[in-house]
Each structure stands twice: as structure tokens, then as C-alpha cells.
Structure 1
Amino acid sequence: MDEMKDAVKRKLSFAQTMRAVLWSFIGLRKGAEHERDMARLNPVHVVIAGLIAAAVFIAILVVIVRLVVSQAAA
């Protein structure tokens, strides 16, 4: 239980966590940066940032599909 409390008190801000998650989505992370961030990322922030990034990604895909379908129908 103490490990979880310590993990939540980690130092990176939500914006820094979001940046780390977005780079991970793209797959352009250096191993050293990944290891450094894993020691400092707040797991709650990682989950929230992952959900936001996934929702934005799905929304972008939906918009692209709608644009392509409307172009094909015209």
C-alpha cells in the first residue's frame, strides 16, 4: 500500500506525463528516456493521459473516415 502512495507522489507534472505518453503512442522513445521517466511518472497521470490520447486518436480516425466517405459519395 505504501508503494502506491509513493508512486502517486512522483514528481513529473501532468503535461510532462502527457508528453511521455504521446511519444510512447508514436513509438519514438529512447530506452534511457523511458527508464528515466518510469521512475518519475505518476501512474494515475499515465492512465488519464493514455485515455485522453486514445480518445483523441479515435476522434481523429472518425473524422478522417467521414471525410473520405463523404468525398467518395460526392
Structure 2
Amino acid sequence: MENHDKDDKASVKTASFGATMKAVFWSFFGVRKRRDYEHDAANLNPIHVIVGGLIGVALFIGILVFVVRMVVAKG
């Protein structure tokens, strides 16, 4: 029975970085189905999630700074 448990854990693949970025993107909006959340929780690499979150935050801040500069420049 122990050997069967090891096979189940070994058969679970980690998601690609692209899949992780997609999950991070949707998490910024807070829109996620429970089934997708559970799949992500089981398959995402925590390091990819952290890196993806940092990239997402940097993009979000960059877009906000760009928009503010455009509005201030026109005003």
C-alpha cells in the first residue's frame, strides 16, 4: 500500500511557468473557480508563484506609473 501512495505522488506533474503566470494573472482579479484553484494548489511550483507574483506586481506598478504620468503631462 505504501508503494501505491508513492506512485500517486510521483504522477502529479508541476505546472509550467506559463500556467503559473496565468494563475497569478487571474488571482489579481480574484476570479477563480474552486476546481481551478484546487488544481493550481496541487500543481503549481511555489517558487514560480512567487516569481510570477513579483512580475505581476512590477507590471501593475509600471502601468499605474505610466497612466499617472500621461494624465499629469496632459493636465
Q: Supply the AA of the counterpart residue of 1:12.
A: A
How many residues end up aligned between the 2 structures? 65
Q: Which runs of 5+ in 1 are unaligned?
A: 1-5
Q: Which runs of 5+ in 2 are unaligned?
A: 1-8
Taking the TM superposition and a 5 Å limit, the aligned residue runs for 1:50-61 are 50-61=53-64
CA RMSD of aligned residues (A): 1.7
40, 43, 47: which one aligns with 2:43: 40
Structure 1 range deviating more: 55-64 or 23-32: 23-32
Q: State the identity %.
A: 52
Provide the TM-score with structure 2 as the length reference: 0.81
Query: CA shift at 1:27, angstroms?
Result: 1.2
| Structure label with greater radius of gyration | 2
Question: Take 2:61 and 2:34, find their aligned partners in 1: how far apart are those partners?
Answer: 27
Question: Where has structure 1 moved over 4 Å in runs of 4 or more?
Answer: none
Provide the TM-score with structure 1 as the length reference: 0.82
